Amino acid sequence: MIVQRISSTAFSEQKPGTSGLRKKVVVFQQPHYLENFVQATFNCLTVDQKTTLVVGGDGRFYNDVAVQTIIRMAAANGFDKVLVGQNGLLSTPAASCLIRQYRADGGIILSASHNPAGPTEDFGIKFNGANGGPASETVTQSIYQKTLDIDHYLMVSSDDIDLTKIGSHGVGDMQVDVIDSVADYALLMESLFDFEAIAGLFKSGNFSMVFDAMHAVNGPYAKEIIENRLGAASGTVINGIPLDDFGQGHPDPNLVHAHELAAIMFGENAPSFGAASDGDGDRNMILGNNFYLNPCDSLAMLTANASLVPAFQQGINGVARSMPTSRAVDAVAAKLGIDCYQTPTGWKFFGNLLDDGKISLCGEESFGTGSDHLREKDGLWAVLFWLNIIAVRKQSIEQIALEHWQKYGRDYFTRHDYEGLEAKAAQAMFIQLREQLASLPGQSINSLGVTSAEDFAYTDPVDNSVSTHQGIQIKFDNGGRLVLRLSGTGTQGATLRVYLDQHEGDPLKLDQDPQLALQELVKAADTLLGLEDKFGRSQPDVIT
């Protein structure tokens, strides 16, 4: 095997964000750009950490090229084996599953999650560690530092691997196994849920479902599990063929972008249950017949009903939510007598808690839910969890939600996204806000008095690492809360996320439109931020 040492020049902007490095495809297509980042990642691993590597992605444009490049570089960098999903496809949860099951040293996942795909759209890459979860902040920072002074990368010359067929190949001294992308993940799901009870739903004739895979990676997973193994009718999974441009859609499972599913579920003769997942399969949206379930409420209700699912019949250790996620799950944790942790946004922060056994369930408001079965959020897992609960309780999503709110109260929640803001101006606004935080308590914004204001910082209870500047959190005297963050998942400009939540305990006020229930908070946020004056934005781009 001849290893080529290819000279390169460092790129200054290869710092990973919340979920890896995301840029436009044309950026990744620059000579040496992808290779530099992959080499920097490999340079962070020791010789003992180069035994087995998992590789795959969501199938977006450039996925096939990147997979072949990574395989050649892995061979040159001394890996013994690469496991790659058939056709180069692996959902993010499935990649985590494979890393853990085969005790791999880590994995490279090619995805920009819910971002659009195509020749002029987005691409992404991230490294997951041996626990199956996203690289820690320490590792991520190390990768970034190595990208700044890299001057070469290693590659072997070889023909492309045939990724369409399952089988083994040799690339240099390294073995490449092309494996079934779905099989291991499907077996894991069967071990967690009561498939017989769920199958009974579909056999009953009183239950119908639509799953929108949004032409993204979860199509094959949903078809195999929901239609083939659980017996749902053919056609239950729509938009189930992965396309490299996601059918020119935006694979973000919310009411705006999953508009086809929303039209079905809020139309006449709607099915009993609807769900969607995103580009790489780790997010979920849950709908009932003319009923939308907020992801914050979903986490709380899954926690409250966990004992109905085989995986949690022995109980749960604890639960965690990201700081912007509503406090609905906190009330359930208190009732169950378990710990509830508040972490920064980003799934990697749940990893230590899961590895240490402190929590069994976790979730975030951005349609992500997961458990200790993996170290990633898992869209299809959440759908199966809900199907299992429905099968046992024999109630609709809406009935389960209404009973939950009567017992715990309702935490009204909304998120307003302002996309494509000028990045420097957005950063300057946050600097100004941070400078005001100390003086805000005791002041009033419109009719609401501020009780506390902080720039959220997190000390990891496992390794005592500290993460600062994780979002601005302001609480008001009516029990409401405003959270502000600049998103780390976009590829251009800045996205401002404005989160608002407020608890309502009056049993007669549990069926309001969240936008109306939270209108005082919305007005306070508008006054504080002045987005129309600063950016000419009078309305958010997306409301969830």
- Tokens 């991520």: give the residue: 140
| pLDDT exceeds 80 at position 294 | yes
User: Do 3-180 and 410-543 fold alike per CATH?
Assistant: no
Band of pLDDT at residue 502, cut at 50, 70 and 90: very high
The answer to whether the beta carbons of residues 529 and 537 sit under 8 Å apart is no
Give the rounded percent of residues in the chain with a pLDDT score beyond 70: 99
Contacts 24+ apart (CB under 8 A), 160-166: 160/68, 161/68, 161/71, 161/84, 163/64, 163/67, 163/84, 163/86, 163/87, 163/88, 164/86, 164/87, 165/86, 166/86
The 10s digit of each residue's pLDDT in 107-119 is 999 999 999 999 9
CB-CB neighbours of 4 under 10 Å: 12
The 10s digit of each residue's pLDDT in 469-498 is 999 999 999 999 999 999 755 556 789 999
Q: Which among 157, 101, 153, 92 is positioned nearest to 125, based on CA atoms? A: 92
* pLDDT value of position 475: 98
Distance separating alpha carbons of residues 126 and 135, to the nearest angstrom: 8
Q: Which among 378, 490, 353, 494 is positioned nearest to 428, based on CA atoms? A: 494
List active site positions. Answer: 113
* pLDDT value of position 491: 55
The 10s digit of each residue's pLDDT in 305-337 is 999 999 999 999 999 999 999 999 999 999 999
| Cα dist from 511 to 296, 410, 517, whole Å | 16, 9, 9
* pLDDT value of position 136: 86
| pLDDT exceeds 90 at position 356 | yes
* pLDDT value of position 1: 81
- What is the average per-residue pLDDT within 153-173? 97
Distance separating alpha carbons of residues 403 and 138, to the nearest angstrom: 43
Distance separating alpha carbons of residues 292 and 272, to the nearest angstrom: 12
Q: In CATH, what number does 410-543 get?
A: 3.30.310.50
Superfamily of domain 185-408: Alpha-D-Glucose-1,6-Bisphosphate, subunit A, domain 3 (3.40.120.10)
| pLDDT exceeds 90 at position 450 | yes
- What is the average per-residue pLDDT within 433-440? 95
Superfamily of domain 3-180: Alpha-D-Glucose-1,6-Bisphosphate, subunit A, domain 3 (3.40.120.10)
Helices (runs of H) and strands (runs of E) counted in the chain: 18, 27
Distance separating alpha carbons of residues 326 and 438, to the nearest angstrom: 24
| pLDDT exceeds 70 at position 423 | yes
Q: Which among 265, 283, 287 is positioned nearest to 275, based on CA atoms? A: 287
Distance separating alpha carbons of residues 113 and 18, to the nearest angstrom: 11
Helix or strand run (H / E) with residue 351: helix 348-355
Q: Which among 382, 214, 372 is positioned nearest to 284, based on CA atoms? A: 382
- What is the average per-residue pLDDT within 412-423? 93
CA 53 to chain centre: 22
Distance separating alpha carbons of residues 35 and 31, to the nearest angstrom: 8
Summary mean pLDDT of the chain:
95
With a CB cutoff of 8 Å and minimum separation 6, the contacts of 268 are: none
Written as one string, the DSSP assignment of 241-264 is S--TTGGG-----STTTSHHHHHH
For the chain, the structural domain boundaries read 3-180, 185-408, 410-543
The 10s digit of each residue's pLDDT in 196-218 is 999 999 999 999 999 999 999 99
* pLDDT value of position 488: 55
- Tokens 């976790």: give the residue: 362
Distance separating alpha carbons of residues 158 and 127, to the nearest angstrom: 24
The 10s digit of each residue's pLDDT in 225-276 is 999 999 999 999 999 999 999 999 999 999 989 999 999 999 999 999 999 9
Q: Worst-scoring range by mean pLDDT, 136-140, 194-198, 287-291, 408-412?
A: 136-140
Distance separating alpha carbons of residues 284 and 164, to the nearest angstrom: 28
With a CB cutoff of 8 Å and minimum separation 6, the contacts of 177 are: 81, 82, 83, 84, 167, 168, 169
Band of pLDDT at residue 139, cut at 50, 70 and 90: very high
Give the rounded percent of residues in the chain with a pLDDT score beyond 90: 93
